[in-house]
Structure 1
Amino acid sequence: MSKKSSQKYHDDYYPPKKSERGVAPADIVRELDPLVDYALEEGRKTGLRHAIMEVMLVSYLMGMGFDYDTAYMIVESWEVNERFPGEYDYRY
């Protein structure tokens, strides 16, 4: 495939400093990085499925405008015996 084709090559691509909504991708990664670390640690104790669900719920609430600490506390309040309502006990 020649360089003149419409396909972008990695050396032709420069990620935007900000998205159309004014949010830099690096800022999003930095904001969510603690959640990834938490999921890895939590997954060792409660199983990956539960840890991923917990992090997704926290992320959703953060997207709704809650700060991390508040979102985390809300999600923790939903847990009963390390499970969310309707969650099965998968251990992987």
Structure 2
Amino acid sequence: MGEILVVLLVVGFMCGLINGAIAGKKNFDTTTHMFVGFLAGPLGVAATLLMEPKPPQPPGTRSVVCTRCNTRQNVLQAASRFECWHCNLITQ
């Protein structure tokens, strides 16, 4: 019984690492996908392989999330504040 648990943990760990690497190349959050890969094993890796990649972030911008509506958007690197395009909240 102990050997089976060790094998499952090793397979889960390896699938998590592989899933995180694939997700990073497809512009997804690597930490979340590593966790999914650990829990789902080879099925999680297969699901990530089938996902369409997200478009890359434009050069000179950073990705921010609005604190009111949770909308993700790209703003210039040098910008200290931005206005959310969805709810018009000005955030610093």
> Normalised by the size of structure 1, how large is the TM-score?
0.35
Task: Point out which structure has higher relative CO (alpha carbons under 8 A, 6+ apart).
Answer: 1
> Normalised by the size of structure 2, how large is the TM-score?
0.35
Task: Give the structure with the larger helix fraction.
Answer: 1
